[in-house]
Amino acid sequence: MILDLRNNGGGPLDQARRVADAFLARGAIFYSRGRDERMSRYAAHPDAVDALIAAVPVIVLVNGGTASAAEIVAGALQDRRRATLVGTRTFGKGVVQTVIALGEHAGMSLTTARVYTPSNRSIQALGIEPDIEVVQAVPEAYAGKATVAGEAGLARHLRGEQGEATFTSSIYVPAAHADDEQLQYAVKLILGQVHHAAYPADIENDQARPLQVQLR
């Protein structure tokens, strides 16, 4: 199965949990921590796994436009060795934002928590590196316009707790599947036409560990 999260800017946190839960039968999906330092653990449920999905290898396509809730899904499946990530580094937005209503027609988006993958990786200002990097060739007409700076490259961004990475990552996805090098590489992996040690992912050797946080 190929799950395409390229240029997916994310969405509600609960939807990230539900999507990842469809692929995982146990264990943590992600953790979040607010300003009061209390941790919230979001876990998988065995009854949420579809029998067909559970039986097949998974490849997740990611790029610089993969952000927020989409990064949570990608990071969870990578950490839990449920999927192989193919593409380029993700954007690096690892925070929870809550919309507070300000009257009937207005609201304010407030950052309320940080998000961590199952193996205690902070996504914020770092992003998720793919297991297999595949850089898409860009037509001359889009030269210089087909990459995006990661979260760490933005002014006044929330600093990463585990370091930061300033980078640019591809966001170009061809309209024609035949020209889509990342997609075609994933298909070749599935068909056995190319081989890589990272595919298929080995969920039996899940290396995710419980999150340990030192309170400050």
- Active-site annotation holder among 79, 122, 131, 180: 79
- Active-site annotation holder among 32, 68, 122, 170: 68
Within the chain, where are the H helices? 13-21, 51-54, 69-79, 181-191
Kindly state the helix (H) or strand (E) to which residue 34 belongs, with its residue range: strand 28-34
Token pair belonging to 129: 């590196």
In the residue annotation, 68 being an active-site residue is answered as: yes
CA separation for the pair 96, 111 (Å, rounded) = 6
Cite the beta strand spans of 56-210 per DSSP E: 58-62, 83-87, 95-101, 107-116, 132-133, 147-149, 168-170
In the residue annotation, 188 being an active-site residue is answered as: no
Token pair belonging to 176: 């024609």
Question: What 3-state DSSP class applies to 61?
Answer: strand
- Active-site annotation holder among 4, 21, 93, 122: 93
In the residue annotation, 21 being an active-site residue is answered as: no
User: What positions carry a catalytic annotation?
Assistant: 68, 79, 93
